Structure 1
Amino acid sequence: MKLLFALLISTAWTFTGAQYYYQGLMDYLENRLLAIEDRMQLWHEQSHRYHTEMKDFKKLTAEAMDGLKNHHSMLFKDLEGAAARVDRVEQEMDYVETQMSPRACTNRADKVVEQEAWELEESRDCVEIISGIRSVKIMKRVGSPKGMWTRDPRSSKVYIFNGTSGNTIYQFKSVLDFSRSLGVTGSRSIRLPSEWSGPGSAVYNGYLYYIKQEAEADMHVVKYDLLSGSVTETTMFPVEGRATVYNLNPETVADLAADDGGLWLLYAPSDSEPTISLAKMDAATLDIEQIWDTRCPRENAEAAFVVCGTVYVVYNTRLASRSRVQCVFDVNDMVLSEEAPLIYFPRRYGAHASLKYNPEEKQLYGWDDGYQIIYRLTMKRKLLA
């Protein structure tokens, strides 16, 4: 009996302990769920606050963007107006500069020619000097920032020299064909037997004249027949080291030019020589007929061209500005300092890598930062010294 009573007491205590255990477990789980609910409520409140703040931020951003767009439109209009005013000022400057007394440096004549002799000479030789730039036409943009393009004075064919060296040139039937082409597509590729060095080549009467110079080698002028595709003449020119003719375009080893009088070569005898030299060449044999010191500085020179036996050297600055003719040299001593032109080229893109004169059209073919440009010139008669 006692044993049964003890067993009942033990069982009652066991059930009572289990009840307390499960009650504690339930209380613990309930407290954890309440804590989770509190955290979820806090997260919901924070999420709602963040969402509200994000909406406010998006609204402020949209308002700021609208304001910036309005400011951008106003600034763009102001810039357009400023650009128009700058263009107007440049046009007025061009007009004023053409009306002012020229200040270019020239070689003054040392002797007076009789009028009868002048009239006889006039019938044989070109007696014009540039008085200004009449118009500018931007054809297109093809190739590298530096290069050269030109037209044969005796035909309509146009030649493209892309870059500062290579052994391939591109021939178009006309300026119109070139302007309508996509890049150099539609052209005839001409592969030369040797590389041309620098954008100083010339095309004259069906022949290509180009400079050939390899590293530490002598400079050669090569005459190439564009019709037959063969080299007809080559001559070596005495130039020391790697002298370049224009300080601002060191890739131009020497510069060949063609005008009414024939073929010319602009070069620097040595790197220490401060001025540009000029040589008259026989276009048929490449023989040197005469050499002059133009006394035009190489410093800040970017290009040059020859018109009627008169050299026009174009200058600029290292940070490209407006190109200008600042030095003129006439081989016939017929250009006075008072009549030498002070010509400013219209401000375009950068600086000229090359300028090639066409005596039949009285135009310059310029290569400016990859753009091909035609400058139509106005001319006047040279005066007696």
Structure 2
Amino acid sequence: MLLTAAGRPRGGSRHRGAPRNAAAGPERISQWHEQSSRYSTELRDFKNQVLGMLEAAEKEREALRAEAEGAAVRVDRLEREVDYLETQNPAPPCVEVDETLMEKQVATAKQRKNEKYTKLTDCSDTIASVRAMKILKRFGSSSGLWTKDAAGNSEKIYVFDGTANDTVYVFPRMREFTLFSATRKAARIKLPYPWVGTGHLVYDGHLYYIRQQGPFQVIKFNLANKTVVDSSVFPAEEQIPVFGLSPFTYIEIAADEEGLWAIYATKENEKNICLAKLDPTSLDIEQMWDTPCPRENAEGAFVVCGALHVAYNTRLPSRSRVQCVFDVSGTLAPEDASLVYFPKRYGSHSSMKYSPRERQIYAWDDGYQIIYRMEMKKKLEV
């Protein structure tokens, strides 16, 4: 073997393996193509498998939807059957007007008119301001009423949609009323006589509402057994709408810490609002007052600790405010009462129900259901 001057073999041996390395290149390319083809096949098979699963899931979803729609139809049919069965209950007690009894009630009420009132509780609070406003939702007609039981601990929500009807919606809790736009989650109570206005009240498991036809009757309806317990013709001659801006309400039944009240107006004293204390058991009027609060531009009223609060607005709805307060016990002078403004809203109130248990007002404003939380203070501190 020949050596170079540096002692290395001439020509070198590094080129001997070149043919073998050159042959390995095509093998790797062929192997890559084979693996790539296999991966593509596996990916295509997996994609087809996923598409098949999605198609099966879609068919199952359609089947579940059809089943849910069928269940909804059955529920609606069941509700109609329940409504029909309720209409087949025994006839409620007779509530026809007894003219002699009505005359006696009117005479007794006039004798008690404007007498000094003896407080039943030590409640001495009055409204200082509206602490907060919460808009729950928009439900039903522009006018209506929603409320809880003013005396009990029930969380049920009672909804009177419109100003004349015979069906009350009952939601089990605030959550069901707030989350669901339809009435599917609500029970329906069909009343024996249609109601009129938005002056109704739920108190201690009973519904007190104004009968639509004939003389103005206060109907006491037991919500548990769905029967009329008692009724009374309101002893006030020639009644007129109590609020100038709410012509559909002739009697407003209210509740506070002292019990039940009736807010009304008559032709005899048509400029101002009248107030009466009611016995919740017998519906007798215990006492009556003429108040200095005008009917003109009044849109609603409620009673807090024995003091009537009247809310006013304008013909073109603006910001309503309480600007007349009448305290039956004489503890709070009208000129010392706070002028309470309600936050700017959508229109005008068709109902305002004070809850003495929660110290808040359930209001219906142009189809919106609103809660006003009240800030209270002592009357003597005003």
Look up the match of 2:15: none
* 1:362 equivalent among 359, 364, 374: 359
Runs of 4+ off more than 4 Å? none
The letter of the residue matching 1:260 is: E
Report if the CA contact (8 A) 1:244-1:271 is conserved: no
Q: What is the alpha-carbon distance in structure 2 between the residues aligned to residue 253 and residue 340 of structure 1?
A: 26
Residue 270 of structure 1: how far off its partner (Å): 2.1
Distance 1:298 1:173, change over 3 A: same
> 145-154 or 270-279: which moved more?
270-279
Report if the CA contact (8 A) 1:238-1:269 is conserved: no
Distance 1:223 1:279, change over 3 A: same
Look up the match of 1:43: none
Report if the CA contact (8 A) 2:327-2:333 is conserved: no
Q: What is the alpha-carbon distance in structure 2 between the residues aligned to residue 198 and residue 320 of structure 1?
A: 19
Q: What is the alpha-carbon distance in structure 1 between the residues aligned to residue 309 and residue 239 of structure 2?
A: 23
Tell me whether 1:373 sits opposite 2:370 in the alignment. yes
Q: What is the alpha-carbon distance in structure 2 between the residues aligned to residue 310 and residue 322 of structure 1?
A: 22
Q: What are the superposed Cα offsets for residues 356-375 of structure 1, whole Å, 9 maximum, x if unpaired?
A: 00011100000000000000
The structure whose RCO (Cα within 8 Å, separation 6+) is larger is: 1
Q: What is the alpha-carbon distance in structure 2 between the residues aligned to residue 258 and residue 176 of structure 1?
A: 24
Look up the match of 1:210: 209
Tell me whether 1:314 sits opposite 2:311 in the alignment. yes
Residue 126 of structure 1: how far off its partner (Å): 1.3
Q: What SS does structure 2 have at the residue aligned with 1:341?
A: coil
* Alignment of structure 1 residues 87-106 onto 2, 5 Å: none
Residue 129 of structure 1: how far off its partner (Å): 0.4
Residue 184 of structure 1: how far off its partner (Å): 2.2
The letter of the residue matching 2:207 is: L
* Alignment of structure 1 residues 214-225 onto 2, 5 Å: 214=213, 217-225=214-222
Q: What is the alpha-carbon distance in structure 2 between the residues aligned to residue 274 and residue 362 of structure 1?
A: 30
Residue 125 of structure 1: how far off its partner (Å): 2.4
* 1:134 equivalent among 131, 134, 141: 131
* Aligned length, in residue pairs: 265
Q: What is the alpha-carbon distance in structure 1 between the residues aligned to residue 322 and residue 330 of structure 2?
A: 18
Q: What SS does structure 2 have at the residue aligned with 1:383?
A: helix
Residue 355 of structure 1: how far off its partner (Å): 0.1
Tell me whether 1:190 sits opposite 2:194 in the alignment. no
Look up the match of 1:169: 168
Residue 272 of structure 1: how far off its partner (Å): 5.9
The letter of the residue matching 1:176 is: R
Residue 193 of structure 1: how far off its partner (Å): 0.3
Tell me whether 1:298 sits opposite 2:295 in the alignment. yes
Percentage of pairs with the same residue: 50
The letter of the residue matching 1:202 is: L
Q: What is the alpha-carbon distance in structure 1 between the residues aligned to residue 374 and residue 269 of structure 2?
A: 34
Q: What is the alpha-carbon distance in structure 2 between the residues aligned to residue 203 and residue 270 of structure 1?
A: 28
Look up the match of 1:201: 200
Larger radius of gyration: 1
Report if the CA contact (8 A) 2:155-2:173 is conserved: yes
TM-score (norm 2): 0.67
Residue 338 of structure 1: how far off its partner (Å): 4.8
Q: What are the superposed Cα offsets for residues 83-142 of structure 1, whole Å, 9 maximum, x if unpaired?
A: xxxxxxxxxxxxxxxxxxxxxxxxxxx99xxxxxx9xx79x4211100001100000000
Report if the CA contact (8 A) 1:336-1:383 is conserved: no
Distance 1:368 1:384, change over 3 A: closer
Residue 384 of structure 1: how far off its partner (Å): 8.2
Report if the CA contact (8 A) 2:144-2:367 is conserved: yes
Q: What is the alpha-carbon distance in structure 2 between the residues aligned to residue 272 and residue 305 of structure 1?
A: 20
Q: What is the alpha-carbon distance in structure 2 between the residues aligned to residue 231 and residue 263 of structure 1?
A: 18
Residue 213 of structure 1: how far off its partner (Å): 3.5
Look up the match of 2:231: 234
* RMSD, matched Cα: 2.1
The letter of the residue matching 2:180 is: S
Instruction: List alignment gaps of at least 5 residues for structure 1.
Output: 1-109, 112-117
* Alignment of structure 1 residues 4-43 onto 2, 5 Å: none
